[in-house]
Structure 1
């Protein structure tokens, strides 16, 4: 742990004299917690100077007199590595080393040491002395360990977050970091996100084109947010909310673009459901009065011409509700909705705007086509009743065409509504008789439901 070894001749460019004490200052060594030393080929200490006692907790004379050996101080977990490196030095495999290891000082404190040494050879090319420096790097190592702990803590948090957290360079958008949640959210491997900036054939699933589309907002505000849809395999879709901002360094220069992508698919589905419920009739699934009136406003705004309106009102629905109950009344309403949709199909905008009232909007329509559509509804009703359903269906129908630009849809609605009520007055007696004849059978059908 924490050990470093450099088998290169790191001191090749240093012109070290034979005696360190001639060029080192005791004040300098002590102030910076340094020790200069020299030992023989057996690593018996010949000389040392500096902050020896501060680093080891022992007096240098204890080592010079052979009362204690240096290896006795080395932490057991670092001792084998220390011995191996020194053996390489004695065998001539390396001529210098630089390594960091721990010692246990005389007061029981663990200190980190940076040990740098080089061999000095005689004229016979044999090792004469081993000369080096010891530096106390405990404070730095503790800071590194704390930094690693903080990094591990941060990674633990980032790895547990379900949102996608990412960071890219501000110029080429090269990915610097992305957390593991991306695999789940984007349904691909983390390695797919890391691509070479010059690899034009590679597609990045992070949708970095959104950065280009919103770069002006980044420049103006320093941040942007947007929503976008992911097209996943097997036709699946996932909605994400992205917020990104410029991250600056200590000098205030933009160093990264950091962002977070949040899965908002559930929220989007809830919004779509609320939007649907707000514009559709819960019983029939057709448009409701609100959506119908909004469509009328849009037609008036566009000043469209050739828009046909048909108003249909179920005859005797109140009687059905009073005599047979609302279950039968609801059954009649759904049957009516199905009949209208089956008759006119998707070309028509069909709505239920009241308890017993339905409307149909037909665009790009002529007077003849509109009248023909109304007649088709009457034919469909007759065919329905011909099958002798438990409860016969009767509807009063009126229609009107917005044939001029100066005419608005409110006027067309009044015309169609008036025609519908005239037909209802004509059909009233016939409807009551038809309902009375089928009442007994309908009551039996209601009980069966």
Structure 2
């Protein structure tokens, strides 16, 4: 076989292979173009699958459709400028994204990849390229961007404190409410750790960090209530949820969505306090006394003692000096009981002139000593207007052989004996 024959065979094979490539390309969304080098951008070649945009190859080859008319009018000038600049800058290739207008008027996004062949002086001799329909990807990206923008606006403008931090507690992102509630700027917070804000003893921080790591390792969201100290050293109570955010089981961050519930908690605490305290003396009331006594029996917290007290002279004080003076007498009695009892004792006003004291881990002997202290302090009370006095009785439970009813009966019996003695005097 001669060299010419071999060349012809090789050329024929190459042409066949190139034809096969073009056949394959025309079955895809990739459209091949070749443009003339010169003024404008006349089309020398376009693959038949340009029909997917509603045009025929002849529309472009005949000049019936100018390529710049194919490009969306809002993108045409920018695209022209870039292509001409790249053509003049001796670039070999360039990728660009823009919109095109289909024959039916619909708009699609395409990615163009342009390749220039140049002579030895760098002048372009050939300008070829492909355009690929990326409408679906672009619209998805736009939707994602819009979604991210909406989320960012919600994040920034939410009334709730929203922040994200890593598993070590270092802040990653902070919304406006986070800055407003804590009193720290976003820049300050980004240089802080969540544990810098939490009201915790140093000994508690270690256990909290462990609990945080446990939540992360178990991928477990959790409702929480925490107290923080803001920049002005004011305690703020926050309530909400910790949400573990992971990427293919690789935890990247933890998000906290929290509401400032300080005022609500203060109101709840006030209501709780009022429900278990006497308004006049701020001692515990009958409800708390009954619940505590029952709880101590159920838990078998033996021994414990009880002192029952009934004030002397309250009715006559009210009758002769008025209820304002009577209230002063009750308050004076409450102060005496506080001073004579231990910090662990539960002092309650259970009636108009009746008091009761629960003494945990207290023997009868100790209870009697406290009764004597109360009596002595009443005698030493120095006030020309009022003179506190009280009849007292005590009782002790050593074990479960005795009930609270027995305790109350015995304390009451001793109290009435004491009152009878006082009245005789």
Q: Which category describes the TM-score, using the shorter chain as reference length?
A: 0.7 to 0.9
Alignment partners' CA distance in 1, 2:216 and 2:102: 58
2:47 match: secondary structure: strand
Q: Which residue of 1 aligns with 2:415?
A: 420
Structure 1 residues 136 and 215 mapped into 2: Cα distance closer, same or farther (>3 Å)? closer
How far is 1:338 from its partner?
2.6
Change (3 A) 1:273 1:409: same
Any idea what the Cα deviations from partners look like across 1:45-79, whole Å, max 9, x if unmatched? 22222343553x66554544455543344445434
User: Superposition pairs for residues 110-189 of structure 1, below 5 Å?
Assistant: 110-122=107-119, 125-164=122-161, 181-184=177-180, 188=184
Partner of 1:236: 235
3-state SS in 2 of match to 1:286: coil
Give the whole-Å Cα distance in 2 for the aligned partners of 1:269 and 1:85. 65
Pairs aligned (count): 396
Distance 1:93 1:236 in 2: 66
Query: TM-score scaled by structure 1?
Result: 0.69
Q: 1:115 to 1:268 in 2, by over 3 A?
A: same
Contact 1:26 1:50 in 2 (8 A): no
Contact 1:41 1:130 (C-alpha < 8 Å) held by counterparts: no
Which residue does the alignment assign to 2:11? none
* Whole-Å separation in 2 of the counterparts to 1:347 and 1:127: 96
Q: For residues 171 and 379 of structure 2, what CA distance do their matches in structure 1 show? A: 68
Q: Deviations over 1:97-156 (max 9, x none)?
A: 010112345554433221111011246653211011122333332332223223333333
Structure 2 residue 273 is the aligned partner of structure 1 residue 276: yes
Alpha carbons 2:181, 2:230 under 8 Å: kept: no
* Equivalent residues of 1:41, 1:129 under 8 A apart: no
Return closer, same or farther for 1:124/1:415 CA change in 2, 3 Å cut-off: closer
Among 381, 386, 390, which residue is 1:395 paired with? 390
CA distance in 1, matches of 2:377, 2:349: 18
Other structure's SS at 1:283 match? coil
Deviates further, 82-91 or 104-113: 104-113
For 1:318 and 1:50, how far apart are their aligned partners in 2? 111
Q: Give 1:376's aligned residue.
A: 373
C-alpha distance in structure 2 between counterparts of 1:277 and 1:214, whole Å: 37
Unaligned ranges ≥5, structure 1:
1-16, 196-201, 431-449
Cα displacement string for residues 235-289 of structure 1 (whole angstroms, at most 9, x for unaligned residues): 514243435468787xxx7877865543344454344334323322232110122
Assess if the C-alpha contact under 8 Å between 1:350 and 1:360 holds in 2.
Answer: yes
> What are the residue-to-residue correspondences of 1:24-63 with 2, within 5 Å?
24-25=21-22, 28-29=25-26, 31-32=28-29, 34-42=31-39, 43-52=41-50, 54-55=52-53, 60-61=57-58, 63=60
Question: What is the DSSP-based 3-state SS (H/G/I as helix, E as strand, rest coil) of the residue aligned with 1:304?
Answer: coil
Gaps (5+ residues) in structure 2? Answer: 1-13, 199-207
**In the alignment, is residue 210 of structure 1 matched against residue 211 of structure 2?**
yes
1:350 pairs with 2:347: yes
Q: Does 1:87 align with 2:84?
A: yes
